[in-house]
Amino acid sequence: MHTILLLTISNIFMTFAWYGHLKYKDSPLWIVIVVSWGIAFFEYCFQVPANRIGHYEFTAAQLKTIQEVITLIVFCVFSVLYLKEPLKWNYLAGFGLMIGAVFLIFKEW
C-alpha cells in the first residue's frame, strides 16, 4: 500500500510539472521549464522510494503498470478539475483497453 500511495503522490507532482503550465500559455517557455523541473524534483522524491519499496513485492513490469494506471487516474481528475477539459467517451474507452493490459500483466500464466 505504501508503494501505491507514493506513486500517487509522485504522479500528482508530475502531472502538474508536465501539464500545469497549459493554463499559463503566456508565460515564457524558459520559466515554464524551470518551474517544471522544480516540481519534478519532488516527483522523484516520491517515485524513487516507491519503486525501491515496491520492487520487494512487484516485478519492474508490474510497478510500471501500476504507475501507468495511477497516471491515467490522476490525469483524468487533473484534466477535468484543473484544465476544465471534458472526458470524452473515446478517452474512457481507450483507458479501458489499457486496463485489459493490466489484467494480462498481473495474471499468473
C-alpha cell, 43:
516527483
State yes or no: pLDDT of 8 exceeds 90.
yes
Average pLDDT over residues 6-30: 95
The pLDDT tens digits for 19-73 are: 999 999 999 999 999 999 999 999 999 999 999 999 999 999 999 999 999 999 9
Could you tell me which residues come within 8 angstroms of residue 9 by beta carbon, excluding any fewer than 6 positions away?
Answer: 46
Write down the pLDDT at residue 39: 96
The CA distance from 81 to 59, in Å, is: 33
User: 3-state DSSP call for residue 86?
Assistant: coil
- 74: closest CA among 22, 7, 3, 1? 7
Global confidence as pTM: 0.85
